[in-house]
Amino acid sequence: MSASPAHPSDSSPVQFDLWRRIYSRLGPYWKVVVVAVLLVSVAAATQPTLAVIMKPLLDDGFSGHKPSYMWSIPLAVVGLMFVRGLSGFASTYLLAWVANNMLLGLRKEMFDRLLALSDEQYKKGDSGRLLNRFTIDAGVVTGIATEVITVLVRETLVVVALLAVLLYMSWQLTLIVLIMLPVSAYIARLFIKRLRRINRDTISMNAELTRVVRESIEGQRVIKLFDGYQHESGRFQYINGRLRRFAMRAASADAAMSPLSQFFVGVSVAAVIAVALYQANTQGLTVGSFAAFMAALGQIFDPIKRLTNIAGTMQRMLIAAESVFTLIDQEPESDSGKKQFKQRVNGRIEFKNIFHRFSDARDDTVADVSFVAEPGQTIALVGRSGSGKTTLVNMLPRFVYPTAGEISIDHTNILDVELRSLRSQLSLVSQDVVLFEGTIAENVGYGALHDASHDEINAALKAANLYEFVQSLPDGLDTQVGENASQMSGGQRQRLAIARALIKNAPILILDEATSALDSESERQVQDSLELLMAGRTTLVIAHRLSTVQKADCILVLDQGRIIEQGRHSELLEKNGLYASLYNIQFRDDDTDIDNI
């Protein structure tokens, strides 16, 4: 929708900003995080203690010098494991609670910003990537954010404690280990860079996969009728195959990191054994000390490996965070207006010298359009496709902004009015009816009108000629409409949208091709409902079917963004211009269709 921010790998300030924005969301839960970190620390402290026990166990326990070790050391082991398990469970639960609350807040912030985006940004957006941000990226950010806390705290404490044990047992042997650690870290860094690139490609391709699957679901009838199975299967297979390749590259990089690290571990262990044997013969290194040293050494590599691996995981988190914050950082639609319509407007609309040109276009979509709709009048906009009708009407609710000119309602510039106040005075019925998952009652009384009574809803349904149909349903008003009311006919969906507009009872009505997709019978029923809806309201009508606009108070004929004719239906026919030509073409086609029946 807008230019993506710099990648996390591009600069340290960008990385720091991403880290700051992720972990600033821990603020409301800092007390829980502190308790979880303390519990993680307790769990981490038990690990080196197990290694330390080895020395007295071997030196004094097996020799019989201290018989009490027979029961005290096993009890100590059981106690340590119990404490470790309990603190591990509690810390994991608390951090999961924090992660899910972070996810809750992050998704709400994303959705609020999604609803606030301008119409233009929706048109530019990739819906697959948008959905991916909600379903995958947000979960990756919050899940890994708490995982990072756990791993960094626990494994760092374990490594530091085990290094202390190693130094205490033999600083010479520990020196060998410390020499090998930077080598392993350097190798891990090389693989992390590769994983970072792969993770970014994987996120992009996941968005593509979501988009292809969504399009296939929505267009399943077209696919079947036009035999698009092979084409869609090929598209899916290509993306699916690329995802597999990315996954295998990530797996190979991840898998290669372990054996290389293990090789250097093996080298360091071999060196330790050689030096230990020398010390045992020359400096009296005891079996217990060597066993404790090896136990600590054996334990230190797993936390080091986890610390190494978390670096690659953190890159996944940063890439996902970059995607999430790209949405959150989108500019919301402009709402600079300060005025409010305190009451129902009269409905006088004036378009004055309106121009509009899309940012990537060479010519104006709308050029020097002026007209006035008095309260209660119906103004129809007709013309060929691409003549600017929809663009012009979309300026009224400020979905589109004029490049030049002024639009006013009751002599008030709409740019000076708050968006919610402006749109509260408008209703829309379009060709593309949008209905939501829920009941018929919830859809008719949608939005700010959700408290509408059943009597009001039934009255609206009666006016929209849909009451008898709804009453015939087993659950009546409580019938679930399903996804976009797919079980209802086009005419029924249109009349449901009309009932919704009737409930809102706004003084200004926009009809955008409201009957163009209907058959003649459905069109007649919907037209009857529309005439009732239009009564007493200022109405702007966009229509290709000229039979629906013959009663309009004024018809504006647009061509290439300009008004070239205007007047009532009979006046325009007498002029024998573009309107008459379009009208004659339509009715000649209709007569031909009737003759062929």
Distance CA 184, CA 492 (A): 68
Burial tier of 231 (Cβ tally within 10 Å: 0-12, 13-18, 19+): exposed
Q: Per-residue pLDDT for 29 more than 80?
A: yes
| H or E segment and range at residue 260 | helix 229-282
Q: Which of 481, 488, 494, 501 is nearest to 440 (CA)?
A: 481
pTM given for the model: 0.71
pLDDT value at residue 281: 63
Please say whether the beta carbons of 297 and 269 come within 8 A: yes
Distance CA 300, CA 292 (A): 12
Distance CA 425, CA 414 (A): 11
375: left (phi over 0), alpha (psi -120 to 50) or beta: beta
Q: Per-residue pLDDT for 258 more than 80?
A: no
Which has the higher per-residue pLDDT, 32 or 122? 32
Q: What is the pLDDT of residues 213-241, one digit of tens each?
A: 877 877 776 777 677 778 888 888 888 88
Which has the higher per-residue pLDDT, 134 or 305? 134
pLDDT value at residue 57: 65
Query: All domains of the chain, ordered by start, with CATH?
Result: 12-328 (1.20.1560.10), 341-418+511-516+540-597 (3.40.50.300)
pLDDT value at residue 449: 58
Token code pair at residue 319: 């890439």
Q: Per-residue pLDDT for 403 more than 70?
A: yes
Q: Per-residue pLDDT for 44 more than 50?
A: yes
pLDDT value at residue 6: 44
pLDDT value at residue 347: 92
Q: Show Cβ contacts of residue 421 under 8 Å, excluding neighbours closer than 6 positions.
A: 337, 339, 340, 341
pLDDT value at residue 66: 67
Token code pair at residue 402: 């004029």
Q: What is the pLDDT of residues 52-109, one digit of tens each?
A: 776 666 665 555 566 666 667 778 778 888 888 898 899 889 988 998 898 888 989 8
Q: Which of 26, 42, 303, 306 is nearest to 145 (CA)?
A: 26
Distance CA 337, CA 418 (A): 4
pLDDT value at residue 287: 66
Q: Show Cβ contacts of residue 374 under 8 Å, excluding neighbours closer than 6 positions.
A: 348, 538
Distance CA 55, CA 333 (A): 69
Angle at 563 between CA 560 and CA 566, to 5 degrees: 140
Distance CA 61, CA 291 (A): 13
Please say whether the beta carbons of 568 and 553 come within 8 A: yes
pLDDT value at residue 238: 87
Q: The dihedral of CA 568, 570, 571, 575: what is its sign?
A: positive
Q: What is the pLDDT of residues 359-368, one digit of tens each?
A: 877 888 899 9
The DSSP letter of residue 57 is I
* Radius of gyration of the chain measured on its C-alpha atoms: 35
pLDDT value at residue 594: 34
- Tell me the residue ranges of DSSP E strands in 71-159: none
Please say whether the beta carbons of 398 and 424 come within 8 A: no
pLDDT value at residue 4: 43
pLDDT value at residue 441: 87
Token code pair at residue 303: 């936390």
Q: What is the pLDDT of residues 445-473, one digit of tens each?
A: 887 656 778 888 888 888 888 888 888 88
Please say whether the beta carbons of 466 and 533 come within 8 A: no
- Tell me the residue ranges of DSSP E strands in 462-553: 508-512, 538-542
Sequence letter at residue 333: E
What's the pLDDT band for 593 if we cut at 50, 70, 90? very low
Q: Per-residue pLDDT for 125 more than 80?
A: no
What's the order of all strands across the beta sheet hosting 349-356?
366-373, 349-356, 404-409, 412-413
3-class SS of residue 577: coil
